[in-house]
């Protein structure tokens, strides 16, 4: 998911020097917990979708759809997904600077749950941005509208934060 992006900051500390401009691999919550409080300017997260696929998907010609069925997208229930979401959002919240900024992208499967959890934890939602897919999955069965976008939530740690799109520019 890579939910933390360490951007260069002016105030350097010995602890920060060890991780700035570095890709930290591993569980995102554990990686975030190793970072100092209020040390991160910007977070971009693309968390698991929780697609809840009920088996193999086939196209009308019976060919198999290469859908996301990886272990990282398997959650036993909405409660389990919500607990996971809460854990990484809390970890993000602790490391974000007061005027930091967070972007979270998701599909209709998860973005509403993630957005609600962000509000529950005190994040202040600033905008939702639509990423329109120019090459979306075809509408195989014709029983729904084509799923041709994802939604990005842009938020700050609190209503008092001063975040503008320009604070995204390193």
Ligand X SMILES: C[S@@+](CC[C@H](N)C(=O)[O-])C[C@H]1O[C@@H](n2cnc3c(N)ncnc32)[C@H](O)[C@@H]1O
Residue linked to tokens 């029983």: 143
**CB-wise, 49 or 103, nearer to ligand X?**
49
**CB-wise, 28 or 163, nearer to ligand X?**
28
Between 38 and 77, how does the x/- string for binding to ligand X read (CB under 6 A)? Answer: --------x-xx----------------------x-----
Q: Is residue 115 within the footprint of ligand X (CB under 6 A)? A: no
Is the Cα torsion angle 30, 124, 75, 110 positive or negative in sign?
Answer: negative
**CB-wise, 152 or 163, nearer to ligand X?**
152
- Work out how close the CB of 38 gets to ligand X at its nearest, in angstroms, rounded to a whole number: 22
Q: Determine phi and psi for 73, rounding to 5 degrees.
A: -105, 15
Q: Which residues are at the interface with ligand X (CB under 6 A)?
A: 1, 27-28, 46, 48-49, 72
């Amino acid at each position: 998911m890579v939910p933390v992006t360490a951007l260069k900051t002016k105030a350097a500390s010995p602890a920060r020097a060890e991780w700035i401009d570095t890709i930290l691999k591993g569980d995102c919550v554990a990686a975030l917990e190793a970072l100092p409080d209020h040390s991160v300017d910007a977070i971009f997260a693309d968390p698991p979708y929780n697609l809840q696929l009920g088996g193999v998907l086939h196209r009308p010609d019976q060919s198999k759809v290469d859908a996301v069925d990886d272990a990282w997208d398997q959650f036993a229930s909405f409660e389990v997904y919500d607990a996971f979401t809460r854990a990484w959002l809390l970890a993000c919240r602790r490391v974000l600077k007061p005027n930091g900024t967070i972007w979270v992208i998701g599909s209709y499967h998860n973005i509403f749950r993630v957005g609600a959890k962000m509000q529950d934890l005190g994040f202040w939602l600033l905008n939702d941005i639509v990423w329109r897919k120019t090459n979306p999955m075809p509408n195989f069965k014709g029983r729904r509208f084509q799923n041709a976008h994802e939604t990005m939530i842009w938020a700050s740690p609190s209503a008092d934060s001063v975040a503008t799109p320009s604070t995204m520019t390193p």
